[in-house]
Structure 1
């Protein structure tokens, strides 16, 4: 494994690296190499019967699925893999954790700090935010006794209806890869193993156990796989979690191309591949690259114990594979220091300090989408404010599924989504205990602040008429296991917003949503604030932006389409017949559902819009501020770009500088090639230097990266649709292996 290259703003990386605690550094490539050598020695010392201990694990919870004996040292959570006491190998205790230590439906009877959604964190465009969030999660996980976190979600948003968009980061491989790498470094600085997931091309929840993804190798390498590659280079994750879906007809967790050829051979990655829960089709997955069967109760059988041992006894090829499986798991344990620095249940957690980490992330990732007439920031001397809808009196919305996190005391509001049974609690609609109404009252203590829940439009309209300003909280709940059928706000909220806006000309909409939404009322309201799922201190963060204590600096990491007709697949594949499926067989229905990603290929999101010449409702990279910025003076020397960012307004604020490849040899070829979040005082200017990763300029052809000779046009952009003057440079033809 080679030392990773760093391809981003020097200033951004300096901030990110400075935040790492001196006492515990995340493992680097050299640490992994040393751990690999130690692991090889341990494998030689293992007895035959010990070689299927580390290759499988259970969910240490009573799921009502068969009879699973739960070990005394297990912590209720996602997974448990037994250790080998004779060799000093500790048990692996796993928790879902992309957004915080998972609530697991309240079974542990404790709480954790909820970070904002992944897409909000990506809207910060700030690796330091992701690093600090990861470090916080890792610290809380250690205090709860966990040593493996199922974090690092980096799948690109290929469809805005995906129920897990909120967990992931963006639609761009550079932005996603750089940010997920920072999060993984933060987690692993706690002597904890982090995954990167879900490998790969996990683009929808509909039929997720068996949807077959069609995509060329070149398109995959230039998009989703590049996001994973950059994330692995930047974060050095010690585990990869494979996905539920099929790719090219093979289950992702039994996919020779993805796991053996790309991940282990081409990339030289030394960690271990764990399955997603209930994603293993059979023992042959081991030969195809899977190292560990996770949550074995959810599969058709336990494949990586007796069946695996029998294969190894009968065939030297299988015996060598089993040794490699163990070596990879041990490499991760040793590189993270899991054996030398054991996590201890019952550790102290500073929830107040950790809440500030979550709040700062929310403040940096909230995006101002519209601000007609400068209505925002609201004056703290306002006489009357009507707050309407979204359970804003109780809390802020969070996404559902395995990544669900809740603080001490559980959610403020819970709405059942799916009947009863073991999985009902997993996808319930839950709200964090952070009331926007309370926070707004604190910001405007002399105002008459009233609340209406929005169930009755006439009631909300009457209250809006009586107030200077109306602030509507609109929610779109999304969850693992379900995609949304369309992009409209549910429960009649579009009609509510239109009616309130007609009654009060000063109407502000605050969106709490998992992904892009349609806005048929956009022309009728004065301001729109994109708050996403804002986490444990979301109410306070929203109020801070509304009243100007925080100048919004978030920028969209995903495109908001004007219509689903603009998408590569206007109709979501399988949405007309597939039901939610958590514990089902990953092979059932395998020939019935296909998704053709070759339609857009590597042109995901804004690249597709550029290729088609389409205008989005709000483009990738978009966001307003309470001040103004000027970015210019772009110059390129080879693949190093320099320019200056200036705050030309009267308020301090943050700008996200975005550098795009715009054309290649005269052809539209739009790709984000660099970014930097820059904090500027009023009137201040700063120089920025970006180093461009040559893979972002290249095509994948015949097993290598290729950049054709010719003219490459680069431009600074306010967002992906508003590019400045192009600067052209000529580059020679070049090709190279991964």
Structure 2
């Protein structure tokens, strides 16, 4: 009888008449991989196992060459593939073939409210990572938007756990289609950058389970993510990269995660905790490489020689080590050693097109009084573009997401290309923010130095605006320290560099003013009543200029909606109103800062609903160049049993003159509960495309999960019998219809 022989890490297939009978047993891929893992474990020395649990360079960890096990290579994302750096330095390696496509920041992706677009994003960036032969893409980021000052919010997917969960799953699946692991980050409670390495987040279990964990749970259980990155902060007094409760009890216990837990770079602080508390792979612990005097600095990592020494002294066993190595081997078999792994592609036309499509779907039209937009080029002779962000490259800076791109088309160039010879486009600086263009050795090549005074810049901008038919001010934040940037939070909600004064001055001399805000965060807008049109443009990457121009000129009908609330002031944000941010230093001589989340589950629109605050722009808000009529919501039945589902259907009609896409949102309100609950919570959304005059029915499904809250005493999700309301809305404050039902 012919058979399949499995030896070591290789399988040899012998064909024959009996193959059809035996083949199905051996084609169980998961079973085969697990058998191979155990076989390899048996063949590995103790030293080889320990070596696999820690880095050997800035972005790689060793395999076992003797057994044919390849190295693991990481790359920063989540918006593009980071350029190569030297083996043990952050300096650029100087390659000429490591440029990439910069995709829009994840705030923009979340603003599309379109899981299909998220799948496209993941697939495209995964192809770029695969082409560069990376094992793991360090992204996406899904920490909850708790405060608009968080410097890293631009890398995340907004304030709502349901929206973030629905958007992260297809991203993960798209990346992993390429045989590249998505490493979802930063797990968990990385909600600020100030004191990020020393902040101990004090969060009640309801907030933890209802707000801060659901998107991670979705990434693990629905997206089947192969890797998770721990965060820098502490929780329950332990650093999140080796945290018993987060990693062992919840991630690997409750959620049954079978992938690899990777430390954030420099996030490991203790060998014993790293051994026992769920960390699998240590990266970036503070070392100056070979220059620190050791023969190999990486041997001094917490999970290196110190770990090996404890084992050899009999102070710890090898059970935890085998589990770590087993997970790392599983990662390698799913990626580098997957024989069906596709080849990938880098800087392809399809990727440039995907980047533009994502950007166009995510741009949000916040305000459009008097239909100032879109700009009709048949009626315009001169357009004034004003503002530093019209020409400043935004792919360089921001922290670890800084990219070396094939190209980045600026908003000014995008507008000029689109307008062509139909109108004159003139430019004025308006203000000087950060003229630099270098981060970690990546250089934009721009020289934005301008020594004119603010008064001179203002005078020029006002004069140019007076002479134009339209004024497009392109400002906002940038990716410099204390703005949208890793390792520091913003210092204020307002716009920097005196932009408010410039905008107000422009509004007084030209009524056709459009403000394009480029940022990954909400900003204060004291001039909101002076400006007819406001566009939220995010950090849009390679195709930024084309995407912005297509929205402004009406080639694309805007369809994005906000993934987080724009507050009028910080006093309208629970984390600031209740006075704890950015935390209170301990008086015990340590450097730990305790940050208590006093607002608990009331984050974003949950807070503004509870406190009856009118936001500047609400969660889920976004306008269009057409109009939509919502019909009456209809429910299929009024009573729901424990194992049943309800469906709510609402007709949506495009009553305007052009095609567009509307994001229909469903919120659930528990009208009476034993514990405090939000006024309403997002539990469904659908992006529906409509031609002029067309009507489509949008249907939502309500199950027990949509009615549940986390009971922190019983430590379980509870759906209490009672009366509920399903609310159909165009935003968190724009309610269009509702229906009542009972859960028994």
Q: TM-score range by the shorter chain?
A: 0.7 to 0.9
1:462 to 2:463 alignment:
yes
Alignment of 1:519-530 (within 5 A): 519-530=525-536
String of CA shifts for 1:522-557, please: whole Å, max 9, x gaps: 111110011011111010100000010000000000
Match of 1:90 in 2: 70
Shift of 1:393: 4.1
1:406 to 2:413 alignment:
no
Match of 1:325 in 2: 324
Match of 2:306 in 1: 307
Structure 1 unmatched ranges of 5 or more? 1-29, 61-78, 410-431, 579-587, 733-738
String of CA shifts for 1:450-491, please: whole Å, max 9, x gaps: 000113111100110001111000120211111101111110
Match of 1:122 in 2: 110
1:690 to 2:700 alignment:
yes
Alignment of 1:32-47 (within 5 A): 35-47=33-45
2: CA distance, partners of 1:193 / 1:32: 16
Match of 1:374 in 2: 371
Match of 1:65 in 2: none
Q: Please tell me whether the aligned partners of residues 398 and 533 of structure 1 are also in contact (alpha carbons under 8 angstroms).
A: no
2: CA distance, partners of 1:37 / 1:617: 57
**Partner of 2:52: helix, strand, or coil?**
coil
2: CA distance, partners of 1:33 / 1:514: 44
2: CA distance, partners of 1:391 / 1:191: 37
Q: Please tell me whether the aligned partners of residues 127 and 345 of structure 2 are also in contact (alpha carbons under 8 angstroms).
A: no
**Partner of 2:154: helix, strand, or coil?**
coil
Distance 1:318 1:697, change over 3 A: farther
Match of 2:278 in 1: 289
Q: Please tell me whether the aligned partners of residues 399 and 533 of structure 1 are also in contact (alpha carbons under 8 angstroms).
A: no
Alignment of 1:249-648 (within 5 A): 249-284=237-272, 285-298=274-287, 301-315=300-314, 318-336=317-335, 338-340=337-339, 349-381=346-378, 382-393=380-391, 395=393, 400-408=398-406, 432-443=408-419, 445-455=421-431, 456-477=457-478, 478-570=484-576, 591-597=591-597, 599-637=598-636, 638-648=645-655
2: CA distance, partners of 1:91 / 1:186: 23
Match of 1:655 in 2: 662
Say which of 125, 132, 156 aligns to 1:144.
132
Match of 1:417 in 2: none
Q: Please tell me whether the aligned partners of residues 155 and 197 of structure 1 are also in contact (alpha carbons under 8 angstroms).
A: yes
Distance 1:266 1:374, change over 3 A: same
The farther-off stretch of 334-343 and 398-407 is 334-343
2: CA distance, partners of 1:191 / 1:397: 26
Q: Please tell me whether the aligned partners of residues 632 and 716 of structure 1 are also in contact (alpha carbons under 8 angstroms).
A: no
1: CA distance, partners of 2:463 / 2:362: 33
2: CA distance, partners of 1:87 / 1:136: 33
- Larger Rg computed on CA atoms: 2
1: CA distance, partners of 2:106 / 2:397: 10
Distance 1:102 1:326, change over 3 A: same
1: CA distance, partners of 2:29 / 2:720: 37
Q: Please tell me whether the aligned partners of residues 211 and 594 of structure 1 are also in contact (alpha carbons under 8 angstroms).
A: yes
Distance 1:391 1:220, change over 3 A: closer
**Partner of 1:683: helix, strand, or coil?**
coil
TM-score normalized with structure 1 length: 0.84
Shift of 1:658: 0.4
Distance 1:212 1:47, change over 3 A: same
Match of 2:721 in 1: 709
The farther-off stretch of 639-648 and 616-625 is 639-648
Match of 2:231 in 1: 243
1: CA distance, partners of 2:418 / 2:187: 45
**Partner of 1:136: helix, strand, or coil?**
helix
String of CA shifts for 1:349-387, please: whole Å, max 9, x gaps: 343321111000000000000101011000012111111
TM-score normalized with structure 2 length: 0.83
Distance 1:589 1:442, change over 3 A: farther
**Partner of 1:725: helix, strand, or coil?**
strand
Q: Please tell me whether the aligned partners of residues 178 and 234 of structure 1 are also in contact (alpha carbons under 8 angstroms).
A: no
1: CA distance, partners of 2:228 / 2:517: 33
Aligned pair count? Answer: 651
Q: Please tell me whether the aligned partners of residues 163 and 480 of structure 1 are also in contact (alpha carbons under 8 angstroms).
A: yes
Say which of 667, 670, 682 aligns to 1:672.
682
Shift of 1:142: 1.8
Distance 1:297 1:591, change over 3 A: closer
1: CA distance, partners of 2:560 / 2:419: 21
Q: Please tell me whether the aligned partners of residues 221 and 255 of structure 2 are also in contact (alpha carbons under 8 angstroms).
A: no
2: CA distance, partners of 1:369 / 1:398: 27
Q: Please tell me whether the aligned partners of residues 154 and 198 of structure 1 are also in contact (alpha carbons under 8 angstroms).
A: yes
Q: CA RMSD in A?
A: 2.4
Say which of 712, 720, 735 aligns to 2:732.
720
Shift of 1:725: 3.1
Shift of 1:151: 0.8
Alignment of 1:143-162 (within 5 A): 143-162=131-150
Match of 1:193 in 2: 181
Q: Please tell me whether the aligned partners of residues 473 and 512 of structure 1 are also in contact (alpha carbons under 8 angstroms).
A: yes
Q: Please tell me whether the aligned partners of residues 114 and 358 of structure 1 are also in contact (alpha carbons under 8 angstroms).
A: yes
Q: Please tell me whether the aligned partners of residues 398 and 404 of structure 1 are also in contact (alpha carbons under 8 angstroms).
A: yes
2: CA distance, partners of 1:312 / 1:182: 41
Distance 1:693 1:350, change over 3 A: farther
Say which of 725, 730, 734 aligns to 2:742.
730
Q: Please tell me whether the aligned partners of residues 102 and 395 of structure 2 are also in contact (alpha carbons under 8 angstroms).
A: no
2: CA distance, partners of 1:98 / 1:397: 12
**Partner of 1:669: helix, strand, or coil?**
coil
Shift of 1:560: 0.5
Structure 2 unmatched ranges of 5 or more? 1-27, 86-90, 289-296, 432-456, 479-483, 637-644
Match of 2:18 in 1: none
2: CA distance, partners of 1:295 / 1:563: 38
**Relative contact order (alpha carbons < 8 A, sep ≥ 6): 1 or 2 greater?**
1
Shift of 1:568: 1.5
Q: Please tell me whether the aligned partners of residues 215 and 596 of structure 1 are also in contact (alpha carbons under 8 angstroms).
A: yes
The farther-off stretch of 234-243 and 548-557 is 234-243
Distance 1:717 1:395, change over 3 A: same
Shift of 1:37: 4.8
